[in-house]
Structures are given as structure tokens and as C-alpha cells.
Amino acid sequence: MKKIYTSVSQIDFNLSDLPKMPAPSRVLMVKPTYFDVEYVINPHMKGHIGGVDKMQALNEWEHLVDGYEELGFDVQIIKGEKGLPDMVFCANQSLPFVDTDDTKKVVMSIMHTDERKREVEAIEKWYRTQDYEVLHLDPAIVNDFEGMGDALWHFKRQLLWGGYGFRSSLKAHEQVSELLDTPVIALELVDDKFYHLDTCLCVLNEKHALIYPDAFTEEGLKMIHKLFENVIEATKYEAEKMFAVNATCPDGRNVFIQQGCTDVNQKLRDAGFSVHEFSTYEFIKSGGSVFCMKMMLW
């Protein structure tokens, strides 16, 4: 089997050939005490510097914590750090997983922008208090890799979906694939409003994905359609303005999504999912929503 796949004709496996991975049972969240828009590193942040309503952000974040707890997840909360306003987007600093020998491991990110680099140490410190083996990419080879912003596990399978072009490089996915001995389907991202893979691809379960098609190349779309039986598409408005695709489906059935994504929500319900809407407007000012405000863990 190949390691990194960049075109559909290279795909030489069936999902059922790949080792299984358990579904996560814990969630990590970072308290938004120091969350704000202090710089512009993606197009959504423009015009929002200093514009976050802190009380509202805390309310929105607390509702999400309650949502995970109601679904039965064990929510781990850590403090944010002063001077790291984006640390709250804790999908980005790492890529945790359960290896085929059942050990818990995590690959630490190398953030693309200077503004976010120090977040990785803070999150690594937390993993070191947990039973995770901490792995690093080689900084001599890899310049940037933004964790689960750009590397998404297929539901319960040892297969990664890797986005590249803005925050993570193809080189990074090659090295992740080597280090983890895991195939990576590499998808080029072509629209800077969808700068992380988690803004345009949401793995719902083994058979279903939610995507925003215009963020991908034709070859990328072919690979997505090859491996998912059902692909739900978000409209431009809901994907771009409401971050509809930055949803999460932690158990393969319940979808947490930004409030008001009427079109996508109907499609999700028609496909049998339970939809739970959350307001994340304060976080959308920074270019993130439900998916990137947490890290799923084992």
C-alpha cells in the first residue's frame, strides 16, 4: 500500500482493509479567557481586531462544554494563556490517535504563523500530564503542520485526510504518514477562506462526509467521493459565513454545528443525523467554529 495519495487512480485499498481505531471518549477544551482577534492571519479576521464580546464568547464556549457533557463525553478543561488569543482553537496544536498496538500517541504541530507558535508548547505540557506518547515532526524537513485543522481521521479507521496549501504542507503530510505508518489522502485547498481542511471537510462517520466542494480541486473531490458513500454539500453562504462544515460528529450520529445552517441541517436530518445547534458567532470572527474549539481524545 502507498503512503500518500494525491490522485484517485492511486487508491489501492478498501476502507475495510485498514486497521480500526476506537471512537474518542474525551474532549479537550481551552477556556477563552484570553480569546480575542488581535491580528489577521486568515480572511475572516479582517475588520474584527479587538471586536470580540468576551462575555458572549464565554457563554458560547460554556454551552459547547455542556453539549459534550450531555452526550456523555469526559470534558477536560485547561486555561488559556495570556498573549495566545487563538489557543482556544485547540484542534490545531496537535494530532492525537490510538496506535495499532493500543497505545495513545500525539504528534505536535508546527504552526504556520509566528503568532500561534507558542501555543504548541502549552498544549504539549498538558499531554505530558496524560498517558500520551509525544511525537515531533522534523523541523528541518517540515515548516508547518496545523494538527487536526488539516489532518482528520476517518471515522474509526487508521486513515488520515490531509489538507495542504495554506497552513500545512504536502511535505508535512508525507512525514506524518511515515511517522504514523498510516495512509494519508492529501487534498489541496484552493480558496483561502477555507484555509484549514476542517473548514471544508467534516468526516461524519464511516460512510458520510459533509463538504464545501469549491474549496477542493477536481482530483480532491474524486478522492472524497471514492471513499465516502454519501457526500453532503454545504452552500457557499453557509460554508463561508456560518462555518457549516466546521461541524463535528463525535459519535457518528450527533452533529454539533453553528446555529442557523438551515440548508445543511435539513440534509443532515434527511441522512439520519441528530443536529445540535450552537452559537459560535464570536469565534467565527476569528475564522473558527465548533470543530476547531475542541480536541477529541481517548
196 is catalytic: yes
Q: Cβ-closest residue to ligand ARG?
A: 288
- DSSP β-bridge partners for residue 74: 26
Number of CB atoms found within 10 A of residue 260's CB: 14
Q: Least separation, in Å, of the C-beta of 86 and ligand ARG?
A: 4
Nearest-approach distance from CB 281 to ligand ARG, in angstroms:
14
- Positions touching ligand ARG (CB under 6 A) are 41-42, 45, 86, 89, 91-92, 116, 149, 196, 198-199, 246, 286-288, 292
Which strand (E) or helix (H) includes residue 78? strand 74-78
- By beta-carbon proximity to ligand ARG, the closer residue of 142 and 295 is 295
Query: How many other CB atoms are found less than 10 A from the CB of residue 251?
Result: 16
Please give the Cα distance from 137 to 154 (Å, whole number).
Answer: 21
In the bound complex, what is the minimum distance in angstroms from residue 109's beta carbon to ligand ARG?
Answer: 11
Toward ligand ARG, which CB reaches closer, 33 or 230?
33
Closer to ligand ARG by Cβ: residue 30 or 271 = 30
CB of 1 to ligand ARG, least distance (A): 28
Q: Which amino acid is at 132?
A: Y
The grid coordinates of residue 203 equal 468526516
Q: How far is the CB of 112 from ligand ARG (least distance, A)?
A: 8
Contact assessment for residue 291 and residue 198, using Cβ atoms and an 8 Å cutoff: yes
From the centroid of its chain, how far is CA 161?
Answer: 10
C-alpha cell at 141: 524537513
| 268 vs 295 by CB, closer to ligand ARG | 295
Smallest gap from residue 16 Cβ to ligand ARG (A) = 29
Rounded Cα–Cα distance for residues 268 and 159 (Å):
23
Which residue matches cell numbers 500530564? Answer: 129
Q: Which of 44, 112, 196, 276 is catalytic?
A: 196
Rounded-to-integer distance, Cα 154 and Cα 207, Å: 10
Q: Cβ closer to ligand ARG: 150 or 174?
A: 150
Measure the CA–CA gap between 157 and 143, rounded to whole angstroms: 27
Catalytic site includes residue 173: no
> What would the DSSP string read from start to end of 175-229?
HHHHHHT--EEEEEB--GGG-SGGGTEEE-SSSEEEE-GGGB-HHHHHHHHHH-S
If DSSP states are collapsed to H, E and C, what string results for 226-265? HHCCEEEECCHHHHHHCCCCCCECCCCCEEEEECCCHHHH
CB-wise, 174 or 198, nearer to ligand ARG?
198
Just list the catalytic residues: 196, 292
